[in-house]
Amino acid sequence: MKNFIFIGAPGAGKGTQAAMVKQDLHLAHISTGDMLRAAVKAGTELGKEAKAYMDAGELVPDELIIAMVKERLQEEDAQNGFILDGFPRTVAQAEALQQMLEEQGLKLTAAVSFEVPEEVVIERLSGRRVCKQCGAIYHIKNNPPKQEGICDKCGGELIQRDDDKPEAIKRRLESFKADTEPVLAFYEKLGLLRKLQADAPAEEVHRKFLEAFGD
């Protein structure tokens, strides 16, 4: 059983890689960003609280996120291995996760850091489009849909996330440096940090991931 954490700046390709690894290794893909977006769409209490933070490119408070992940990790599919994508993003979240794993008798395989230069991240985020209906991810230059503005998979409308707009991108990168870089140090101390150069096409990064962790 394999349990991964995917860490990387926004736009480093965590979500795309997680979707590929999920297929290959049959793991549960737990994306806190996707869960929050679903909560916003459904209009739940959590969604209402989280929306303003998300639109501004700021982190949602730790206690909300930790409670959400705790519940999710208890679901059945997570018992056969998981990828946590976008969590933990603060040291407080990382500490809470260690405690949850201990309580459930689970261990992390690795905390994988997807390393991409900042200018590449900005280019990726500003060109990113997502399907409003199924969440599939595109890029206007690197991975365009067959027909502009329309999802190849489900025919849904492609939109730009509010937090992929320039002001929010800037704040998300600042938050990554201030809040999430210390998380890398946290896992380094535990001997669990693995760095992966991710400034390459998705298939190539995926191949490198499988070489390192796929057996």
Is residue 65 near ligand AMP by the rule CB under 6 A?
A: yes
The Cα–Cα gap between 76 and 78 comes to 5
Instruction: Tell me the two tokens of residue 179.
Output: 């809040």
List 22, 161, 165, 171, catalytic entry: 161
Annotation marks residue 72 as catalytic: no
Q: According to CB under 6 A, which one of 6, 8, 78, 86 is a site residue for ligand AMP? A: 86
Annotation marks residue 165 as catalytic: no
Report the largest interatomic distance among the alpha carbons of the chain, rounded to a whole angstrom.
48
Q: According to CB under 6 A, which one of 53, 92, 98, 207 is a site residue for ligand AMP? A: 53
Kindly report the number of other CB atoms within 10 A of residue 62's CB atom.
17
Annotation marks residue 194 as catalytic: no
List 2, 51, 124, 172, catalytic entry: 172
Strands 158-159 and 128-131: antiparallel
Is residue 196 near ligand AMP by the rule CB under 6 A?
A: no
The CA R_g of the chain, rounded to the nearest whole Å, is 16
Task: Using the minimum distance from each CB to ligand AMP, give the nearer residue, 100 or 207.
Answer: 100
What 3-state class would DSSP assign to 36?
helix
List 2, 51, 124, 128, catalytic entry: 128
Using the rule CB under 6 A, give the single segment among 28-36, 95-103, 114-122, 136-144 that binds ligand AMP: 28-36
**Residues 6+ away with beta carbon under 8 Å from 144:** 138
Annotation marks residue 129 as catalytic: no
The Cα–Cα gap between 163 and 168 comes to 5
Question: Which residues are marked as active site?
Answer: 14, 89, 128, 161, 172
Q: Would you tell me which residues interact with ligand AMP (CB under 6 A)?
A: 10, 32-33, 36, 53-54, 57-60, 65, 86-87, 89, 93, 163, 172
